[in-house]
Amino acid sequence: MWLIRKKIDNSLLYFITKDMQPFSVVKDEGFLQYSHAMNASYTVPSPQTVSRMISNKYDDACSDVLNILQRLKFINLTTDLWTSRTMESYITVTAHSVDDNFNPINLVLDTHHMPERHTANNIRRPGTVNKRVED
């Protein structure tokens, strides 16, 4: 039963993060009805529990990325400045490498809101790329 709950919880977290749903979706009447129809024995976690579960998943993912980076011999970093559909500017830092079989490895290390103009001085300003890469 525990394994089934874990699988459902992971699917719930995937749904919330992939579709950018608010944590409160787990309290919505339609969602609860759907969830009960899929598995009547499953107790939907509270929004606070969902928040904690996602935070734990994030910490696990950070550890996984760090482990991958530590095993790589060479890493190239790229930055990408981009604008969202809502016209907000961001900078993303990505690590690129290859494994021992020359399969590409691309890891997004950070995406940071950057409302300033995309000038060299603003990009190299402490707290933008430099701080993100150090972390």
pLDDT value, residue 25: 97
pLDDT value, residue 7: 95
pLDDT in tens, the chain (135 residues): 788 999 999 999 999 999 999 999 999 999 999 999 999 999 999 999 999 999 999 999 999 999 999 999 999 999 898 888 898 988 899 999 999 999 999 999 988 888 888 788 877 776 666 555 565
For the record, the structure tokens of 115 come out as: 């409302």
pLDDT value, residue 97: 97
pTM for the model: 0.72
* Residue boundaries of the structural domains of the chain: 2-61, 72-134
pLDDT value, residue 21: 96
* DSSP bridge pairs for 94: 78, 108
